[in-house]
Amino acid sequence: FVKNKVVVTNLAEGDVLADGRALPFADNSFSVVTSIDVLEHIPPQDRGKFINQLKRVAQKIVVLSFPLGTKEHFEAEKSLKEFLKKRNEEISYLEEHLKNGLPTIEEIKAILKNDSYQIFFGEDFRLNNFLFKLQFVLGKRRILRRIYFYLQKAINFFLNIFYYPFSLSSKPHRYTNRAYVVIEEE
């Protein structure tokens, strides 16, 4: 979606294999640095170190996107884990979420207390979980999977155009799915 070169850094696959707590890039290497669905996989005591590394390599902006750590969201993730476990599906990523805890706004604000940033909240995890579970309820029958594939494309189009942009708010609600933090580097 962007015209500029994108460098993907990850532990297992990507352009650069590295731990985000010790990025192998010089200071101010990138105009914009993003972290999408990573914080919940990092132990809480290391999240500040990770965010500081992102800020170090960013010239202008760091964008964080992560599932918001509320009591309701944590309970929903436990339920989703059990749902997937009963179906013998991969659950290691959810186990990491539960072990590390989902990042809270209080935690992020404490890490960023000396920074200029904005926080936005969006979506409803109940909708995401419903759509996620639906694909497993349909089973492995080829025709149902194909129908779901096209249905999911239509649902994603609708959500991307008519729901997600309008679900953003400056305050979280009980069922907020995601937090978006935009840090402006000086």
Mean pLDDT along residues 170-181: 94
Residue 53 confidence (pLDDT): 97
Question: Which of 111, 81, 99, 90 is CA-nearest to residue 179?
Answer: 111
What are the tokens at 122? 């969006």
Q: Can you give the pLDDT at residue 74?
A: 95
The mean pLDDT of 37-62, rounded to a whole number, is 97
Query: Over the stretch 136-168, which tens digit does the pLDDT of each residue have?
Result: 877 777 888 788 888 888 988 999 899 888 889
Q: Of 54, 61, 44, which is closest to residue 20 (Cα–Cα)? A: 54
How confident is the model at residue 65, as a pLDDT?
A: 97
CA distance 17 to 80: 30
When the pLDDT of each residue in the chain is averaged and rounded to a whole number, the result is: 92
Pairing of strands 116-124, 176-184: antiparallel
Rounded to whole angstroms, how far apart are CA atoms 64 and 118?
10
What confidence tier does 1 reach under pLDDT thresholds 50, 70, 90? low
Report whether pLDDT(44) > 90: yes
Contact 40, 54 (CB under 8 A): no
- Confidence category of residue 51, pLDDT binned at 50, 70, 90: very high
Q: Which long-range contacts (CB under 8 A, 24 or more apart) does 2-7 make?
A: 4/31
What proportion of the chain, given as a percentage, has pLDDT over 90? 69
